[in-house]
A and B are shown apart, each in its own frame.
Chain A
Amino acid sequence: MRFIIRRAGFFLLTLWAALSLNFFLPRIMPGNPINNIISKLHNVTQAQELAIERSLGINNKAGIWQQYLTYVSNTAQGKLGLSIGNGGEPVSELIKQALPWTLGLIGITTILAFIIGTAIGAIAAWRRGSRLDSALPPLFVFTTAIPFFWVGMMLILIFSSILGFLPSYGAYALGTTPSFSLAFIGQVLEYAILPALTLLITSIGGWVLTMRNTMVTTLTEDYVRMARAKGLPSSKIMVGYAARNAILPNLTGFAMSLGFVVSGAILVEYVFNYPGLGNMLLSAVNNVDYPLMQGLFLIITICVLIAILLSDIATAILDPRTRTGG
């Protein structure tokens, strides 16, 4: 429990660091965000300029620390400002629309990739030296090196452009209104096949390789030999003895690889024009919509931190050593 509390404390500090990055980045970068925005619009009046400054949380009259404190307290209350594009809607409202799509697509695929990859890695290590084990590592070393977006483009090429039986654009057909009907859910699933497949193909390799390489080592441990000597069934040894211990580095690796998942998610959403956070971030960048950019960066960071905290809790449950301090 103390371990989890310590981690949660660290995450609060990290969140503060992300907030500070959000605040200070536009101020240390060359160029002025307000001028960037004004140059994109036409005929900006004095009042509009003031409104833009306000929406960015920039108040040239107050000192920089005053501005910083205002920014932090506003953000803590969930006030993320108004978007510059999108008809000036509140940033929090826009994020609320995009978040479920990203969580649904990326969250489910990441968990699937973790489970499938770990299982394949465990089987490869268990059948050490078989044809399967000699073919899998090179294959997955290769898949970890393929760019996400290109896999997406190739899947679009094969399944949409050439074969023409899977949609490659958006999360549901244009003109339909989202509802909880069976037909709509089926449509969403159909539209999610290609983006999900892209993420699976490129992210599974890391799990397979880490799992295989750790399990190869745990299989030579004394407790595995002991289990064999006791005459336990193979499946029990493989899952309960070797895999259960080998999975720990994979869980810790989860934290490291989330960055990889996020970058993949952004690129995949872009390629498939999926209405999630990543795609919204890129359009915010194109529209020099700084408040939306900052809000999205914050929400993506929060999602990643929560995911890491969950993997920490899973580690604490599986590995008693982390619970007793150390």
Chain B
Amino acid sequence: MAIPITTTGLPQPAEGISGTRRRSTPHRITKAIRTNRKATIGVFLMAVFIFVALFPGLLAHQDPNAITNHVFAHPSAAHWLGTDNLGRDVYAQVIDGTRNVLILALAVGLLTTVVAMLIGVAAAYLGGVWDSVLNFVTDVLLVIPIFPLLIIIAAYLPNAGNNVLILVLAFTGWSYTARQLRSQAQSLRNRDYLLAARVRGERPRYIIVVEILPVMTSLLLASFLNNALYAVLAGSGLQFIGIGNGNNVSWGTTLYWAQQNNALGSGLYVWAIVPGACIALMGAAFAFINYAFDEIGNPALRPLTAAKARKAAQSSTKRRLGSYGARAR
């Protein structure tokens, strides 16, 4: 349940419609990644994780589930990160777990955003009683503490696998995104081009899919990234407290075994350090990409360069002009 840090939720002017010069989208994206340092870090980290998830066999040659007599081993040439209580190689578990965490993040991010989109856009577009009912459900889900609810749901579903975890996270985590999407769809609702579509006699489904959704792309993308970050943290948190299937190779599960076997008290530090660092880095990848998108969409948030900052400090009037200048670019 990451604290929402984006400002994309505010109703924004439709992007791309009023834009004057438009370069091809791939070109704009690669330029943004190269010039924004946070985007560079985030994309780099994400690329590494995707590579590891796709080709775990290139990096680790041991079976992460192979139980041996060599238990609680300290890091060595044979076991780079040592072994756990069952003699399983921790390094192989970390490498192999990447795929599980990445699938969890991407699937929950996607599914949550889709559910939120359906509910938020439907509420804004249908209006009336539908809006009130959907809004109430959204508001309730927004204030009910989700994490304890997840723990309780999981308690009724012992040994739930990754897929159940994905479904539960997605169907409880959509409320914040739905709220944002609803307010954006509402501000779009009375635009002239939508009125025109309605006058033309287009069906609601056509209007929502063809006219409204494309405009919401940037917010949808931000929501996807935010929800993926949420999935990494909440999913790992649940695995860490031993909920779900303990045989599922995942970073949270590895940490669960480390905690259960008092890795910190018995000097097996890397067993606890590395999987957690991986969770933090994958979370950071999503968070950095998201924050960079936010800066690209809202130039006022961008860091000022040293020269601009000096100029801005000269006088308050110039500071005002400077920020206008930054926004006009």
Residues in A with CB closer than 8 Å to B287 are: 141-142, 144-145
Residues in B with CB closer than 8 Å to A205 are: 3, 5
Contact of A255 (CB < 8 Å), options: B143, B291, B300: B143
Interface size class of B (residues with CB under 8 A): 35 or more
The digit string for A279-306, where 1 denotes a CB below 8 A from any CB of B, is: 0011001101000011011001100110
Given A149-B255, A260-B3, A142 and B143 contact (CB-CB distance below 8 Å):
no
CB distance from B138 to the nearest CB of A (A): 12
Q: Does B49 contact A (CB under 8 A)?
A: no
Contact of A260 (CB < 8 Å), options: B1, B242, B300: B1
* Interface-facing stretch out of B184-192, B202-210, B276-284: B276-284
Residues in B with CB closer than 8 Å to A21 are: 144, 149
The digit string for B82-120, where 1 denotes a CB below 8 A from any CB of A, is: 000000000000000000000000000000000000000
Write the chain B residue with the least CB distance to A278.
B148
Contact of A262 (CB < 8 Å), options: B3, B38, B145: B145
Residues in A with CB closer than 8 Å to B243 are: 285
Contact indicator B283/A146 (Cβ below 8 Å): yes
Contact of B234 (CB < 8 Å), options: A30, A209, A263: A263
A21-B313 Cα distance, complex, nearest whole Å = 56
Q: Does A138 contact B (CB under 8 A)?
A: yes
Residues in A with CB closer than 8 Å to B291 are: 137, 141, 209
CB distance from B300 to the nearest CB of A (A): 6
* Interface-facing stretch out of A52-60, A79-87, A179-187, A213-221: A213-221
Q: Does A118 contact B (CB under 8 A)?
A: no
Residues in A with CB closer than 8 Å to B155 are: 285, 288, 293
CB distance from B134 to the nearest CB of A (A): 14
A128-B305 Cα distance, complex, nearest whole Å = 10
Contact indicator A253/B286 (Cβ below 8 Å): no
A148-B313 Cα distance, complex, nearest whole Å = 39
Residues in A with CB closer than 8 Å to B264 are: 153, 156-157, 160-161
A255-B148 Cα distance, complex, nearest whole Å = 16
CB distance from B65 to the nearest CB of A (A): 23
Contact indicator B151/A285 (Cβ below 8 Å): yes
* Interface-facing stretch out of A64-72, A91-99, A265-273, A317-325: A265-273
Contact indicator A157/B149 (Cβ below 8 Å): no
Contact of A150 (CB < 8 Å), options: B144, B229, B255: B255
CB distance from A315 to the nearest CB of B (A): 15
Q: Does A109 contact B (CB under 8 A)?
A: no
CB distance from A21 to the nearest CB of B (A): 7
Q: Does B312 contact A (CB under 8 A)?
A: yes
Contact indicator A141/B5 (Cβ below 8 Å): yes
Number of A-B contacts (CB under 8 A): 208
Contact indicator A210/B3 (Cβ below 8 Å): yes
Given A141-B291, A220-B300, A300-B148, A263 and B237 contact (CB-CB distance below 8 Å):
yes
Write the chain B residue with the least CB distance to A30.
B157
A29-B280 Cα distance, complex, nearest whole Å = 33
Contact indicator A270/B280 (Cβ below 8 Å): no
* Interface-facing stretch out of A10-18, A42-50, A170-178, A189-197: A10-18
Q: Does A107 contact B (CB under 8 A)?
A: no
Write the chain B residue with the least CB distance to A220.
B323
Interface residues of B in 60-78 (CB under 8 A from A): none
Q: Chain B CB within 10 Å — which of A33, A146, A258, A301 has the most?
A: A146
Contact of A14 (CB < 8 Å), options: B3, B143, B313: B143
Given A14-B143, A146-B280, A25 and B5 contact (CB-CB distance below 8 Å):
no
Given A142-B287, A301-B144, A281 and B240 contact (CB-CB distance below 8 Å):
no
Q: Does B59 contact A (CB under 8 A)?
A: no
A297-B143 Cα distance, complex, nearest whole Å = 13
Contact indicator A256/B4 (Cβ below 8 Å): yes
The digit string for B196-233, where 1 denotes a CB below 8 A from any CB of A, is: 00000000000000000000000000000000010011
Q: Does A326 contact B (CB under 8 A)?
A: no
Residues in A with CB closer than 8 Å to B136 are: 13
Contact indicator B303/A305 (Cβ below 8 Å): no
Residues in B with CB closer than 8 Å to A271 are: 259
Residues in B with CB closer than 8 Å to A134 are: 303-304
Top 6 A-B residue pairs of the complex, sorted by shortest distance between their CB atoms = A206-B3, A129-B309, A145-B283, A150-B276, A263-B147, A129-B304
Residues of A within 8 A of B (CB): 10-11, 13-14, 17-18, 21, 25-26, 29-31, 33, 36, 128-130, 133-134, 137-138, 141-142, 144-150, 153-154, 156-157, 160-161, 203, 205-207, 209-210, 213-214, 216-217, 220, 225, 228, 253, 255-260, 262-263, 266-267, 270-271, 278, 281-282, 285-286, 288, 293-294, 296-297, 300-301, 304-305, 308
8 contacts between A and B (CB under 8 A): A129-B309, A145-B233, A149-B237, A150-B272, A206-B3, A259-B1, A262-B145, A297-B149
Given A147-B240, A278-B148, 14 more contacts at CB 8 Å? A17-B140, A129-B308, A144-B287, A153-B264, A153-B272, A154-B273, A209-B5, A225-B320, A256-B176, A259-B145, A263-B145, A263-B234, A286-B242, A293-B155
